[in-house]
Amino acid sequence: MEAKSFKRLPKHIGIIPDGNRRWAESHNKEKHEGYSYGINPGFELYNLCIHFGIQEMTFYGFTQDNTKRPAVQTKAFQNACVEAVMKLAHRDANLLVIGNTKSPLFPKELLPFANKRVQFGKGLININFLVNYGWQWDLSSNASKSIPRIDLIIRWGGRRRLSGFLPIQSVYADIYVIDDLWPDFKKDHLYEALSWYQEQDITLGG
């Protein structure tokens, strides 16, 4: 399916990659093992969005609430976020990491990319990565003010909620939910979401 198949494409897509722990359990693994299997799907989606000319993506890494999980899980998703950024450094993107950097739960390896946009390679797409993010923390400090309004949010894992995902930028976003778990990502998921987006009436309240 080529980009010309779509009459209208979102400029900014929000990604909620849910279901890593459930995927791990369904594959006879420990819950914390699921996070590492969520890295490659992110890069598959990144490649597809560049192909379609999407200008910006925001990925939910982990929230301050997520850090209430068992320590082994917290360490696993922290490591997965660091690994994802280090891999992205060899691609073509403009990265911005947003999260509470004052907390010891923020990975120190990501401090050089926090609160300022860093260009990798040709900088073909803006990538925002929410790491140790909290919606109340964001609203109290307007930490995500440099991130523009989101047009389309795609959530994997079947849950029909935003889970605090950028409340200001999401105010007029269309939300498409995929029942498959994030590590089971396939390109048809994006095609289906973009096809569904064609049918939405974008009024922005007008």
Q: What is the mean pLDDT of the chain?
A: 95
Degrees, nearest 5: CA angle 15-150-32? 20
- Inter-CA distances, 109 with 59, 82, 106, 198, Å: 18, 7, 9, 39
The model scores a pTM over 0.85 = yes
Distance between CA atoms of residues 125 and 117, nearest Å:
12
Torsion over CA: 100, 101, 106, 109 (sign): positive
Residue 201 pLDDT: 83
Higher pLDDT, 168 or 7: 168
2 pLDDT exceeds 70?
no
Distance between CA atoms of residues 149 and 164, nearest Å:
15
Residue 1 pLDDT: 53
113 pLDDT exceeds 70?
yes
Contact 193, 160 (CB under 8 A): no
Write the pLDDT tens digit of every residue in 121-177: 999 999 999 999 999 999 999 999 999 999 999 999 999 999 999 999 999 999 999
Residue 3 pLDDT: 52
pLDDT band at 58 (very low <50, low <70, confident <90, very high): very high
DSSP E strand boundaries for 111-180: 118-120, 126-133, 152-156, 174-178
Distance between CA atoms of residues 35 and 78, nearest Å:
9
How would DSSP label each residue in 7-43?
S---SEEEEEE--HHHHHHHTT--GGGGGGGGHHHHH
Beta bridge partners of 175: 153
Listed residue (29, 49, 53, 52) closest to 41, CA to CA = 49
Instruction: Work out the percent of the chain whose per-residue pLDDT is above 70.
Output: 97
